Amino acid sequence: MPGHFEPIPGGGAAVALDDVEISIIRSLAVQLLELIGPGPGGEAFDDPLAELFAEGPSEPPTDAVLRRLLPDAYGGPGGPADQDEAELRAHSSEFRRFTENDLRAGKREDALAVVRTLDVLSPGGGDGGAVLKLSQDESIQWMRALNDLRLAIGTRLDITDEEDTDLLYRLPDEDPRKPMVMAYLWLGGLQETLVETLMP
């Protein structure tokens, strides 16, 4: 089990994490929460209907990571060839106004699930660390959060395709990007084994 998720009886998954790994994942999840933010203007809604009909932003985020996590629905490479750029931007803006708040809320909930499940871990013994056991629903939240974390780190590392990933393995140890690269690759391994536990 060390270093990778394994299925557990009754559904869900488990992984052994040491104290450093727990700290890294928690820190990254908290940073993701800070980046996603509390919602448009940070407002809290007392009326569920007001929240339901609240409009989100119509323009893409300025931060590159948020643009990757909250992409335009239309346009860009592979967009319909029979529509001009202005029309695609208008469709993207309209779509974003009604979907971004929900998308951000979902990503916040996933990242919070990671933090909460790590915060209730009991120490695993004298060598530090613990065994993280996730329910089926928590496993799905973790899978989505790990994906978001990898997208965020990959964006900061300017990873756009598989060739970029191959270059990461050859970075010298003195490269300042090395710790971020190691986290990116490690999270990828965790994500892959978690996906495998969820497959029927």
Query: What pLDDT digit, counting tens, does each position of 80-122 carry?
Result: 555 577 777 777 777 777 778 888 899 999 999 999 999 998 6
Q: What is the pLDDT of residue 10?
A: 85
Helix (H, G, I), strand (E, B) or coil at 88: helix
Of all residues in the chain, the percent with pLDDT exceeding 70 is 82
Q: Residue 139's CB: how many other CB atoms inside 10 A? A: 24
pLDDT at 85: 75
**Residue 40 carries which DSSP code?**
G
Contact 70, 89 (CB under 8 A): no
Q: How confident is the model at residue 42 (pLDDT cuts 50, 70, 90)?
A: very low
Whether residue 53 has pLDDT greater than 60: no
> Interior CA angle at 134 toward 35 and 66, to 5°?
15
pTM of the model: 0.81
Q: Count CB neighbours of 141 within 10 A.
A: 20
Q: Read off the pLDDT of residues 163-185 as tens digits, 9 standing for 90 and up.
A: 777 777 788 889 898 899 999 99
**Which residues are 13's β-sheet partners?**
7, 134
